[in-house]
Amino acid sequence: MTHRSYDDACGAALAMDAIGERWALLVVRELIFGPKRFGDLRTGLPKASQNVLSQRLKELEESGVVQRVELGPPASAHAYQLTERGHQLEPVLLALSRWGARIPASPDTGMSTDAFMLLLKALYFPPADATPTIAIRLLVGTDSFDARVRPGSIDVRRSATGDVDATVRAPVPVLLGLIFSDATLASGATAGVLEAGGDLAAAQQFFTLFRVPET
């Protein structure tokens, strides 16, 4: 496969040469919260073929955005992680996520767990008169993330182990509903689509701190 170039010395064009191919930025998105094995990347990007994903990873390695690592113990496994240069793309992804949140998505369009966690960082807009400090553990399938919000910041980490105010276990569509619909933790628990424990009032408040910007 021939890697295409804009043949333009502009910094934006050079950046797009490195990360502008289809799926490239989404590979970066899937690695924002830590290294992943190839199979885990395929789970997060199910519409990307194995060959295309392999090609994007190769190109991102050559561009210094991604590097191979060994995970373990107990079992050693090949994985990919972002380099320091790769992590510098996080603000770009957050800006794109924020901008794209205003574009209607098809009802049957899915969202990976890592994409949802990035969306939390992109759409954190607490009310000006509120000063919440809340720590929530979000369990999605076999994945675990801790989200800690403060008046002016949000921190999201995979597999964190600190104390939290509440725990919520639910698939991504249900978590999206807690933000963008009138669904509540109570209604979700009654419907059997989520499990929640701890300070449920704090957890419910957590999901009110996100919104799509109007402009």
Cβ atoms 138, 196 nearer than 8 A: no
> Quick one: CA dihedral 114, 50, 25, 86, positive or negative?
positive
Rounded Cα distance, 145 and 161, in Å: 9
The pLDDT value given to residue 156: 96
Rounded Cα distance, 159 and 107, in Å: 30
The pLDDT value given to residue 75: 66
The pLDDT value given to residue 200: 96
The pLDDT value given to residue 1: 47
Strand positions, DSSP E, 64-175 = 66-71, 77-82, 134-140, 143-150, 153-158, 166-169
Cβ atoms 101, 210 nearer than 8 A: no
Mean pLDDT per segment of 10 residues, for the chain of length 215 residues? 77 90 96 96 96 96 95 80 97 95 85 96 86 92 95 89 94 96 96 97 95 83
The pLDDT value given to residue 71: 84
Which pair of structure tokens corresponds to residue 93? 């992804």
pLDDT tens digits, residue range 117-171?
Answer: 999 999 999 877 777 899 999 999 999 999 999 888 999 999 878 899 999 999 9
